[in-house]
Amino acid sequence: MEREFIEGLGPMPEGAADAVLRAHEEELESLRAQCREELAQRDFDRALDRALAGYDFTSLAARDAAVRAVREKGLAVGGDGTIQGMEAVMDEMRERDPGAFCPERTPVCFTAPVTDGGSLTREQIISIPDRALRRAAIAENMKLFEGEN
């Protein structure tokens, strides 16, 4: 808004144009600050989502607890787009609540034989933790599972 526009509206008391311009500038600055805050929050939320994608949580509640822990620390997004200090917060959370994280998984070798040449019992087959290996063992020893519904 310009002074000429305000003065062109017609007669006004002395100093009214200046007061209108100041009020307008204050409102604009308030809106600019609000936009900056919203953009910073958006950038933080995106960086947090990217960072949390690298962790295997046992539940949504565990993930939500991690989000709260990061927000409570007041961490900020660094110049490289990552949340500075995120690892320390996650390490602290892992010490406090190890059950919030899925255990590290060891790679499964699908070419390894299920047995050492001997036959498996039904209970041994059922107790195989890896689903693919368990299914392969069931297929190899179908006679142990026949007649089941």
Ordered per-residue pLDDT tens for the chain, 149 residues: 676 766 667 777 777 767 778 888 888 999 999 999 999 899 999 999 998 988 888 889 999 999 999 999 988 888 888 888 989 999 999 999 888 888 876 555 555 555 555 678 888 888 888 888 888 888 888 888 887 65
Whether residues 9 and 54 fall in one domain: yes
**pLDDT value of position 149:** 54
What is the domain extent for residue 17? 3-100
Q: How many domains does the chain have?
A: 2
**pLDDT value of position 109:** 53
Whether residues 84 and 121 fall in one domain: no
**pLDDT value of position 79:** 84
Whether residues 113 and 68 fall in one domain: no
Whether residues 83 and 111 fall in one domain: no
**pLDDT value of position 137:** 85
Distance (Å, whole) CA 52 – CA 104: 16
Whether residues 138 and 96 fall in one domain: no
**pLDDT value of position 144:** 84
3-state secondary structure the chain: CCHHHHHCCCCCCCCHHHHHHHHHHHHHHHHHHHHHHHHHHHHHHHHHHHHHCCCCECCHHHHHHHHHHHHHHCCCECCCCCECCHHHHHHHHHHHCHHHECCCCCCCCCCCCCCCCCCCCHHHHHCCCCHHHHHHHHHHCHHHCCCCC
The answer to whether the pTM exceeds 0.85 is no
